């Protein structure tokens, strides 16, 4: 296990598990829904975004089709998104964020941001953050 590759791999898994754990815990403690909800709401509220198809969200968020389908069920039930028919393609749908959805995302953001700053950014220098981003970017590139 002195192999540098597996040291890095192990630390990647460990860091992610740890960070996701604390961040989710803080969100929950603030009475907010899980990060997965945030991710969807964020994509749908990007400037100029007039709704997205499930199949597009799937690729953006690396979610399995059936998981996204049910996540959208929950978001819709909570009144945060709406599914609309797509003219010209009877299979597809367009998922649109509602006012309540935008509102929730905006309320989640401070808690999310602060948790990431405190548990992630605070451990690293600005220079390190940038190098980290640069290297991690190569993986999914």
Partner DNA sequence: TCCAGATCAATGCATTTGCATGAATAATTT
Partner DNA sequence: AAATTATTCATGCAAATGCATTGATCTGGA
Q: Look at residues 68, 75, 95 and name the one whose alpha carbon lies nearest to residue 84.
A: 95
Instruction: Kindly state the helix (H) or strand (E) to which residue 104 belongs, with its residue range.
Output: helix 99-119
Q: Is 54 in the site for DNA (CB under 7 A)?
A: yes
28-47 binders of DNA (CB under 7 A): 28, 36
Q: Look at residues 62, 68, 64 and name the one whose alpha carbon lies nearest to residue 140.
A: 62
Q: Is 7 in the site for a second copy (CB under 8 A)?
A: yes
Q: Look at residues 91, 90, 68 and name the one whose alpha carbon lies nearest to residue 81.
A: 68
**Phi–psi pair at 90, nearest 5 degrees:** -70, -15
Q: Is 49 in the site for a second copy (CB under 8 A)?
A: no
Q: Find which of DNA, a second copy, none residue 85 binds, CB within 5 to 8 Å per kind.
A: none
Q: CA 61, CA 57: separation in Å to the nearest integer?
A: 6
Q: Is 19 in the site for DNA (CB under 7 A)?
A: no
x/- map, 66-105, a second copy, by CB under 8 A = ----------------------------------------
Q: Find which of DNA, a second copy, none residue 141 binds, CB within 5 to 8 Å per kind.
A: a second copy
Between 28 and 118, name the residue whose CB sits nearer to DNA: 28
Q: What is the dihedral of CA 102, 103, 106, 108, to 10 degrees?
A: -110
For a second copy, the binding residues (CB under 8 A) are 4-9, 11-21, 62, 113, 116-117, 119-121, 123-124, 126, 128-133, 135-141
């Amino acid at each position: 296990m002195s192999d540098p590759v597996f040291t890095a791999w192990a630390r990647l898994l460990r860091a992610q598990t740890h960070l996701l754990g604390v961040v989710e815990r803080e969100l929950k403690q603030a009475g907010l829904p899980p990060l997965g909800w945030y991710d969807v709401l964020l994509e749908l509220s990007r400037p100029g975004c007039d709704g997205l198809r499930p199949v597009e969200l799937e690729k953006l968020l690396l979610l399995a089709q059936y998981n996204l389908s049910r996540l959208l069920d929950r978001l819709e039930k909570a009144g945060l998104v709406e599914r609309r028919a797509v003219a010209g393609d009877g299979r597809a749908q367009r998922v649109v964020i509602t006012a309540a959805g935008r509102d929730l995302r905006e309320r989640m953001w401070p808690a999310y941001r602060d948790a990431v700053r405190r548990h992630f950014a605070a451990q690293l220098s600005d220079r390190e953050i940038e190098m980290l981003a640069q290297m991690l970017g190569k993986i999914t590139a």
